[in-house]
Structure 1
Amino acid sequence: MAQIYSKFPLPVTGTIKTTCIDYVHPWTDSCLQGISGLYLYAIFDSLRVYGTVYVLTLLMKGRIPTKDDLKKTVLGVLQSTAFLSGTGFGYSLFLCLLRKLLGNFNILSVSFLPAFLSSVFAILIERPSRRTLLCLYVSNVATETLWNMALSRNMVRNVKYGDTAIFAVGMALLLMYYKAGYHKETSAKTDPMFGVLRFVVGPYEEKDYSARSSQASSFYRQQAQDIPNVGSSRTRSGSWQGRSKNPVFHVISQALRVYKKIIYKIKCCDRHLACPHPFSCLYYTMQGVGKMFTIGLGIQVTLKLVLNLKRVMQSPRNLKTILFKKDTLNLAAFLGGFSGLFRAVLCILRRTTGKDSPSYAIPAGLIAGVAFTRYPDTTVALYVLWKVAQITYLMGINKGIVPRIPGFTEFLYCFSTAILFHAALLEPTNLRPSYWKFLHSISGGRIACMNREPLDVWGLGTTESLERVLKLTKTQAVLK
């Protein structure tokens, strides 16, 4: 039977005569105890997860929380905890229930259907405002899982720089929407993705940016008036003259003066009339590179220090080996390169054609996406892909091109979650390790304790796959 089923990528026929005691909860003979144990542990772990998330969100507001803030935070934690723990409860419940109704397990009822049904009830508990975010996340992971499943069956093969291509195409489309202002015509106008784009590529590229013309004209008026005074003797004299006797201060002040003069010269370089930004195109490009490179470097250094805090405390000498590595600059090179390339290509196109157009974001975004090779990440690439799909769908609804499908977000969430649970039970090596650790934690290790031997009949090497995952993720098949 194993040889027959292994020929198919997703066999849907054939049953196994095992019981839920042998497969679902081999640590207890009672379905009620198995379901209750999982539910109780899921509640405590969900409280830990969402308690941390909501408290951090509250602290990031940067102000003393009011009574309403605290009330919303507590209610939010309880509601999200009920949602997440309800998924675990429903999954275990439907596993046993379907076994009793059908009299056996099949390829769908061993994980896919119970996960789908439990997700249907659980997602309705969560706030509607959070459902889209949850859907994007699980769809992201499910897409990667499906690709890994196809890859393991030799149905596809990995493409070099495939994640970079996905990221570049997705960002090109998002940046075109950003420049054209399409997102303002849909419910995506408050989407945080466009806030990220505004921060990375600058606000001047957004359609109808209100302050761009006034800032540009005021600078050039100031430029025409103040050029004779820059670097004059009057600037170098006065209150600073007495302090310049200090050699160190004198060197620093001279260096700052030279720096300001160079920056001023760069700002005064040519700026095409079609460009919406103030100052010169050269300064605009350099500003994007410098700003995002600094931010990327700061993030990377901070993460390295936080993750290696114990080593640094044990011996400060480890600081050098932790920070002075090539990969420390990867995130900075990606962010700085992306912003700089995007701005530079746009300015070149505007100079060449003599006008600005939202369509210029396509070639600019594709070229800027090459910087992703410095910091490739499949999760980020797939997130951008799904974000493009979401916003394009909303635009299609707004323009009357596609109909609004009620409950589509909830259905996609349930379907994606079912795929992830199916992979976690039948072929966990195709699941993202971080998601396996999440399932292992939220179930108190029970997902690893479920007996995989009856599932080996489908020829997917399930038991061996579980052993490899446990070793890879350093998790154990032990109840917590």
Structure 2
Amino acid sequence: MGSFSKLLPYTCYELGHCWHHSCSFTSFEICIIAFIESCKIYGVVYLLTGLINARKISIEYGRKILKDYLTSVCFLTVNAFGYIGSFCVLRSILRHVNFLTASFLPGFIASFMAIFVERQERRSLLAIYVTNVASECLWNSAVGRGYVKPIPHGEILIFAGAMAVLGYSFRSSSPPSRLVNSILQLFLGRGESGVMIASRQVTHPILSEQLDPKPQPWPMKLLSVFTFHHPLCPHRGGCLPHFFRMGLQGFSQGFLLQLAVKLLSSASRIVKSPWKVINLLLNGNNISAGIFLAWFISVFKGTCCAGRWWHGKDDPSHGAVAGVLSALSMYFYSAPSLALYMMWKVLESLYEKGCDDGYLPRIPKSVEILYSLSTGYLFHTAVMEKQYMKPSYWRFLKSLTWNRLSMYNRHLLDCYGLNSSQDFHNYWPDYDLDQIGDAVKQMLPQHIAETSL
């Protein structure tokens, strides 16, 4: 392990923007590139948003969508442009590059500036997303360095813990997270939501006391599950047939969702080779996603039905048990990012509730600080420990900078002991030798130095 206190005397050109020696030129270039890519990225996002809300289309709504679109484009552009600009400014002020200024501090400064450009209502979503990705990278780094041991199917434990809280809140009258509550309603339906449970209790306030005046033997209760539904159940028909029906519905939804994602990501290849659609249809991930959603929906609803038969009433605690059992669906379709996202949403909801109830202090600009710290760490990982970065996020950064982030000379950072050049052994920048110092010239492979001369 190298010393993190080392000061590197290299210039911005030698270490960072190795494709051109001018700081102002590279900053302006990244600004233009990021603006173009941001227009593409958010163009798709806001187009889908407009299509989903097609009923609301009007001149005023169109203006709002356009304004929000341009705001998001500017946000992402500032984030990318601010990173390279902050890197050069810090190097100019300090006259050296250190462990923090190599990537983390420029990323933090750029993100802190950019997040205030974005709309207030999107900041929390962005902060949770990048914190989710950063926590996954941090875990990969800890495992890679041997600080912790990987836990087989650890994502199931995280997902189960998060769903225990979310399941309870989903079936309570005042769920803390509106976004997650809406997502759960989309898949589980409104019937099991706390709002509908409260409505049924208002409609039939003493129903639970009249359900089963005399205890029934278990065989009779089991027969009732097959042929009837509990009077408090929101569905029609027997509970067991409903359980299997929800499983089939969940399988079809999961299969089609996964297939749609693959079709969208492979659209260009399908146009060139239409026969590849068959391979996408037969892909095993589609079946895994179908089993995942089938288990998740049917087990959650089935557990709620079992709770009503067992206790004779609806109770939010049934949702906690249902959440844990439904989370076992991740055994069939591993999705660590989803588990981590749910975990962070739970922590956010608990923090907000703690602040509202007066148990926790509300930290000013906590969302903006969280976003900046997480994104700063992601920039640090992309430069210093790229081998631990989530592949999809690395592809996003490469696309956003037109591969400029890959042109960082990570060989000069190996002195910190993080194997920064691990994935870039064969890459050396095509330097203008008149613009670099002797220390870097001596490090260049012989064949590259001779070619440059």
User: TM-score band (shorter)?
Assistant: 0.7 to 0.9
Change (3 A) 1:60 1:95: same
* C-alpha distance in structure 1 between counterparts of 2:269 and 2:37, whole Å: 29
Q: Which runs of 5+ in 1 are unaligned?
A: 6-10, 217-264, 471-475
Contact 2:299/2:325 (<8 A) preserved:
yes
Aligned to 2:77: 85
SS at the partner of 1:423?
Answer: helix
Cα deviation, residue 158, structure 1:
1.1
Cα deviation, residue 391, structure 1:
1.1
The reply on whether 1:293 has 2:251 as its aligned counterpart is: yes
Cα deviation, residue 352, structure 1:
2.3
Change (3 A) 1:460 1:393: same
Cα deviation, residue 377, structure 1:
0.9
Cα deviation, residue 149, structure 1:
1.1
Aligned to 2:34: 42
Aligned to 1:20: 12
Aligned to 1:237: none
Cα deviation, residue 430, structure 1:
0.7
- The count of residues paired between Structure 1 and Structure 2 equals 412
The reply on whether 1:362 has 2:354 as its aligned counterpart is: no
Aligned to 1:204: 191
Aligned to 1:450: 408
What is the identity, as a one-letter code, of the residue corresponding to 2:303?
V
* C-alpha distance in structure 2 between counterparts of 1:477 and 1:55, whole Å: 39
Q: Which runs of 5+ in 2 are unaligned?
A: 205-222, 431-453
What is the identity, as a one-letter code, of the residue corresponding to 2:62?
L
Contact 1:427/1:465 (<8 A) preserved:
no
What is the identity, as a one-letter code, of the residue corresponding to 1:424?
A
Contact 2:409/2:429 (<8 A) preserved:
no
Using the TM superposition, name which of 282-291 and 191-200 deviates more: 282-291
Alignment of 1:77-476 (within 5 A): 77-183=69-175, 186=176, 188=177, 191-209=178-196, 212=200, 269-307=227-265, 319-466=277-424
Change (3 A) 1:198 1:364: same
What is the identity, as a one-letter code, of the residue corresponding to 1:440?
K
* C-alpha distance in structure 1 between counterparts of 2:414 and 2:20, whole Å: 22
* C-alpha distance in structure 2 between counterparts of 1:64 and 1:346, whole Å: 36
Change (3 A) 1:306 1:81: closer
Deviations 1:407-462 (A, max 9, x none): 00000000000000001111101111111111111112211112112111112111
Cα deviation, residue 202, structure 1:
2.6
Cα deviation, residue 322, structure 1:
3.7
Cα deviation, residue 297, structure 1:
2.3
* C-alpha distance in structure 2 between counterparts of 1:311 and 1:444, whole Å: 21
Change (3 A) 1:320 1:106: closer
* C-alpha distance in structure 2 between counterparts of 1:100 and 1:315, whole Å: 52
User: Aligned to 2:58, which of 61, 66, 75?
Assistant: 66
Contact 1:292/1:339 (<8 A) preserved:
yes
Contact 1:215/1:278 (<8 A) preserved:
no
Aligned to 1:244: none
Cα deviation, residue 309, structure 1:
5.6
Cα deviation, residue 204, structure 1:
2.1
Change (3 A) 1:301 1:101: closer
Change (3 A) 1:419 1:301: closer
Deviations 1:203-230 (A, max 9, x none): 22222417657999xxxxxxxxxxxxxx
Contact 1:170/1:385 (<8 A) preserved:
yes
What is the identity, as a one-letter code, of the residue corresponding to 1:102?
L
Change (3 A) 1:309 1:100: closer
Deviations 1:271-319 (A, max 9, x none): 3345454443224323322322221222234444555567766777655
Deviations 1:137-162 (A, max 9, x none): 10010000110111111001211111
TM-score with structure 2 length normalisation? 0.84
* C-alpha distance in structure 1 between counterparts of 2:13 and 2:358, whole Å: 52
Contact 2:18/2:429 (<8 A) preserved:
no
Contact 2:174/2:194 (<8 A) preserved:
no
Change (3 A) 1:21 1:58: same
* C-alpha distance in structure 2 between counterparts of 1:405 and 1:369, whole Å: 32
* C-alpha distance in structure 2 between counterparts of 1:51 and 1:314, whole Å: 24
Deviations 1:167-206 (A, max 9, x none): 12111210101111232xx5x3xx2321121122232222
* C-alpha distance in structure 2 between counterparts of 1:323 and 1:313, whole Å: 16
What is the identity, as a one-letter code, of the residue corresponding to 2:24?
L
Contact 2:413/2:420 (<8 A) preserved:
yes
Q: Which structure has the larger Rg?
A: 1
CA RMSD of aligned residues (A): 2.8
* C-alpha distance in structure 2 between counterparts of 1:85 and 1:39, whole Å: 6
Cα deviation, residue 348, structure 1:
2.1
The reply on whether 1:31 has 2:30 as its aligned counterpart is: no
* C-alpha distance in structure 1 between counterparts of 2:418 and 2:252, whole Å: 47
User: Aligned to 1:52, which of 35, 44, 59?
Assistant: 44
Identity of aligned residues (%): 32
Cα deviation, residue 106, structure 1:
0.7
